[in-house]
Chain A
Amino acid sequence: MNQKIVVSGMGLYTALGKGLQTNFDSLSSQAHALTPLHFLDTAHALEFPFGEIKISTSALLDTLKLPRNKGYTRTSLLGITAMQEALANAGIDRHAGLKVGIINATTVRGMCEVEKYYFKMLEEEGDFSEFSDTIDCADCTHRLADHFKIKDYVTTISTACSSSANAIILGTRLVNQGHLDIAICGGTDALTRFTINGFNALKNIDKQPCKPFDEARNGLNLGEGAAYLVIEKETSCLQRNHKPIAEMKGYCNFNESFHATAPNPKGEGAYQVMKRALLKAQLEPNDIHYINAHGTATLTNDESEANAMKRLFGSVPSFSSTKCYTGHTLAAAGAVEAIFSILALEQQCVYANLNFANPIPDSALIPQLFHEKKQLQNVMSNSFAFGGNNASLIFSKMESKR
């Protein structure tokens, strides 16, 4: 990294609740938010636990004082709520004179609404134009840009479960190379019948709360959420009298080209992406003090990720998956977990990996089992996706000196 790039603001909305404090409190009291579905209409509502945000879409609209019948999807509304906190947290309510961009990520787009109206649109007369543009990923990004009056740079990334980690990487590069003063990076995904049925067809969903890194793990739980990080140069942050939260120390985006939906069980892709992120950060493996693992609790991911961590770190630092609290929030997961990692740095603590009993025999790794205080200098956050699209991020304490 040519210049010191920092995170100057964060905001999120997950099943654990709205905002940084609520999420951190739930994590530190080891309280997950996985329940049957209440708001989404699907045949699977009671079959699986979900990380559903406990608010209806119309209540979301009311909370934000936004009009009905104007095409705001749940995906957009979760995004707006999270970005509001991130901007306030970064102290950039007014951004006059600065080049500000949005790099958003989503996979479900407006499908949360489209799937309700799709066959009506096909088969019935009537005006369904409210959601005419929501079938693509750019819709929620444009809603965010318009809501917060940001127009210097607006784009959308969609690389499945690593989408928002890649948004953070792109924002960092745009700031580092001088194209933006401030990059607001993250992602948003609402729960939909479309994704629930997709993952269920892949036989990837556990009927119980998921068990990351456990020998008896049996799949993931789906969740929804939105999370954004504000990224800028340290000099820019200090110039506007704002205290940086953490340093964006290193990153890597790497495709392992192994299989369309499964990782290499030996963890080659996960190993390479973590190793290259360390290289970018100019850190050694033993400089990493906590890993927020991708840890979906699917058979293949956890085996591959555990093998990769063992190979790279030898003696593996404290690690846990927080998907057992929020569910897998897909495109938002990278940003949600980047924020969790940074909160761990700020609060000098590590999160408990819930529902763990026995290690995977091959790697025999035991995750962090209790929430506890710990001295942390550098933390890593992993995001791995369909198609081999892997990403790894490293954040460091501000006064970080090796």
Chain B
Amino acid sequence: MKPLYIISSSCISPQNTFDETVLFDGNEVKTAHENILSCIEPDYKGFINPVQIRRMSRALKLGFSTAIDCLRKSPVKEMDAIIIGIGKGCMIDTEAFLHSIRDYNETALNPTHFIHSTYNQLNGMIALDQKINSYNVTYAHRGFSFEHTLIDASLLIDADEAKHVLIGSFDEMTPEHFFIKQKWGYWKNEITDSKALFLSNSPGTLAGEGYGFFVLGAEKTCADQVSILAVQTLYNPSDEEILQAIQSILTAHQLEAASVDLLMLGNNGDNRQQHRDELLTTVLHEATPLYFKHLCGEYDTASQFGFWLLSHVLKRQQIPESLYHPSQRSDSLKRNQVCTTIQ
């Protein structure tokens, strides 16, 4: 694949990421409240007109604001595609419509929640507001929804079908969804502080949510632009298949395992899912492992938050203290454009 340059990005998360500098300049880390990390909402007035603010649901307002912010930051305004990945979509609307079907015995229902529960709503809203008449698609593929937006953008750029692509992903956590997944053992039983997530040694994780958008381009718009060289998803892989895939990516880019500086791990503090970390840190033995799920919580498109963080780490050549394992000490970053995100 041709390199995909990250021209601009925007991220709304449970941390102060909408103001990009905070995580990097300060050490302020927001912690989970009763095992849920909820997004910090911006002042929507800067992004959405007042009539729309009243009409749009929370997930759509957050997603829309992130996308508009990302487009405003981009020196390139003409988008050739909009590609969005969603794990569960607008849960508040899905739940509200399920409730109204029951509460009103399937009669005289308001269609708004139904419309908003449709997976491609945000795609349509961004296209409509920004008059982007183009290729437009929504992936709804659980843990790989965000990765498929990268793959599709890469396909378009490889085939010269697009020069600039707006990609993004989002998922929202609701009290009801948290409660249901609690029953199935997804979350920690004990109230866990974000900072202590990786020391907990118990099953379950913290719940989270997040919104992120990126303008990707076929060409650089500045000298030190971070780029994506390879992206690959593996479905139910064996350890051997994971190692093979890493090796083939390294070989394709004439790299040694030892030349990878950083490894962003998808570890979510659930002690039932730790062995992959060992596999990865063993093969990429020189890479400093970094962690992000204590900052955003677990949700289908959480890898997007890790990806956003890494892109800023590379751009700034600076690693926020909060990304290290609590037992690690910080280390200076060698300059390199390779990064690996594993979920």
Contacts and interface: CB of A to CB of B under 8 A. Distances in A.
A190 interface: no
B254 interface: no
B152 to A, nearest CB: 7
Given A145-B235, A386-B120, 20 more contacts: A43-B105, A135-B88, A136-B142, A154-B141, A156-B140, A157-B137, A158-B120, A159-B123, A160-B120, A177-B158, A177-B159, A193-B106, A197-B109, A253-B137, A255-B123, A255-B132, A260-B125, A272-B133, A386-B115, A387-B127
Interface in B105-154: 105-107, 109-111, 114-115, 117-121, 123-125, 127-128, 130-144, 148, 152
Nearest to B176: A122
Contacts of B82: 255
A179 B180 CA distance: 38
Nearest to A166: B137
A284 interface: no
A311 to B, nearest CB: 16
Interface stretch (A198-206, A317-325, A342-350, A357-365): A198-206
Interface string A364-382: 0000000000000000000
A156 B139 contact: yes
A153 to B, nearest CB: 8
Nearest first, the 5 A-B pairs at minimum CB distance are: A387-B124, A198-B114, A255-B136, A201-B111, A138-B142
Interface centre among A136, A160, A170 (most CB of B within 10 A): A136
Interface stretch (A113-121, A214-222, A235-243, A301-309): A113-121
B183 A121 contact: yes
Interface of B: 82, 86-88, 94, 97-98, 101-102, 105-107, 109-111, 114-115, 117-121, 123-125, 127-128, 130-144, 148, 152, 155, 158-159, 176, 179-181, 183-184, 233-236, 300
Contacts of B158: 177
A151 B135 CA distance: 27
Interface of A: 42-44, 106-107, 109, 115, 118-119, 121-122, 128-129, 132-133, 135-139, 141-142, 145, 151, 153-160, 166, 170, 173-174, 176-177, 179, 193-194, 197-198, 200-202, 253-261, 269, 272, 385-389
A155 B159 CA distance: 20
Nearest to B186: A132
Contacts of A386: 115, 118, 120-121, 124
A387 B120 contact: yes
Contacts of A153: 233, 235
A142 to B, nearest CB: 8
A200 B104 CA distance: 13
B155 A177 contact: yes
14 contacts: A43-B106, A107-B118, A132-B184, A137-B140, A137-B141, A154-B235, A156-B140, A157-B138, A158-B140, A160-B120, A177-B158, A255-B127, A255-B132, A257-B132
B55 to A, nearest CB: 10
Nearest to A387: B124
B133 A255 contact: yes
Nearest to A126: B183
Nearest to B128: A257
Nearest to B147: A155
A197 to B, nearest CB: 5
Contact of B140 (A138, A259, A385): A138
A132 to B, nearest CB: 5
